[in-house]
Amino acid sequence: MNLWRRLSERDAAEEAEPPDRAKRENAAAAKTSFVPRLDIALEIAAVMARIVLDPRVTFAIAIAVAVLVPGRTGELVTAFFVAFGSLLVYRAERWRRIPDHLRWLGWADLNKPLLRRLSLEAPGTYAHTIAMANLTEAACNAIGADGLLGRVGAYYHDIGKLRKPQHFVENQPRGRNPHDKLKPSTSASIIRSHVRDGIELAKENGVPRPIRAFIAEHHGTLPISYFLAKARERDDSVNATEYAYPGPIPQSAETAICMLADAAEATVRSLADPTPPAIRATVEATIAQRIGDGQLADAPITLRQLSVVREQFVRILTGMYHGRIEYPAPVRPLAIAPKPDSRASA
């Protein structure tokens, strides 16, 4: 009997007996329900590290032991906890990031459901996300900010584009733009909503607040310039706030760098001829524009640190987009066309 007919008969039989099918599916789910959850293990490790590395906890234990355990043993244990607490105070600056680091490591996993969806449903956004995560992490590390938080925040910053990926230019096939059929106000509303949608998706998936800040702050209160200009061509009296992102402006050095990396990566990618001077000029102009727009007014980042950030961006973007060798066209077409026989069996 034909294989496809047999398969369709089996499907029909299973549909006729839904309870059995449901039972089998539940049993299969129960069999595969134990999946090692590295993210949960890292969350637990982060909580444990926070307790162990808190000198207040150590000194409290030392006092409790001194009061409750009499004799030489109590003295020795108290001395140990006092010494350990003193070490923690001395190393506080260096070790304070360990619990957060453990936590962000769990969210840096590219197999997380939201990031897997992004790679499959919005591949252009995913590529942009990976590129700017490298920029953000390098620049954060160079100024002493939290590089891992910067990387993870960059991974999630555009997650809201999952709701309507085809409305964002990096996911559009050449010549197909759904905005051509929409009013500028509708287009601006869709573009703007990727921030709100991102925060919603992140909350639904339990993404922690410091990572959600990257979603909310990466566009600050910037105008959606393209659609604002288009709307003004039709009507000069349009309300500019309807064409602006909701904000807030970046509140930390990491989210400020994410905002700059987002703009720098997208602008350099659009250059027709990304020579090193053109890349440098674009990065400088992007950073100067964000400062001029007042978008970095709340971020704890100095002009000196911004010059370090700029140099990191120029170095990485030059490596990414410059120096591609144009290969000469092959003299003869490569003989890789399938033979008629092999095509028949495919």
* Chain residues in the site for Fe ion (CB under 5 A): 158, 262
Task: Pick the closer one to Fe ion by CB: 124 or 276.
Answer: 124
Q: Minimum Å distance from CB 194 to Fe ion?
A: 6
Q: Minimum Å distance from CB 168 to Fe ion?
A: 8
Task: Pick the closer one to Fe ion by CB: 82 or 266.
Answer: 266
The separation between CA 39 and the C-alpha centre of its own chain, rounded to angstroms, equals 16
Task: Pick the closer one to Fe ion by CB: 158 or 254.
Answer: 158
Task: Pick the closer one to Fe ion by CB: 198 or 274.
Answer: 198
Token output for 183: 């009013």
Virtual torsion, Cα 158, 161, 167, 168, nearest 10 deg: 20
Q: Minimum Å distance from CB 158 to Fe ion?
A: 4
CA atoms within 13 A on the CB side of 106: 19
Neighbouring-strand partners of residue 17: none
**CB of 308 closer than 8 Å to CB of 253:** no
The separation between CA 206 and the C-alpha centre of its own chain, rounded to angstroms, equals 14
Please report which helix (H) or strand (E) contains residue 62, including its range. Answer: helix 55-68
Pick from 65, 70, 68: which is nearest to 81 by CA? 65
Q: Minimum Å distance from CB 331 to Fe ion?
A: 42
Task: Pick the closer one to Fe ion by CB: 108 or 162.
Answer: 162
Give the C-alpha separation, 257 to 316, whole Å: 14
Q: Minimum Å distance from CB 258 to Fe ion?
A: 9
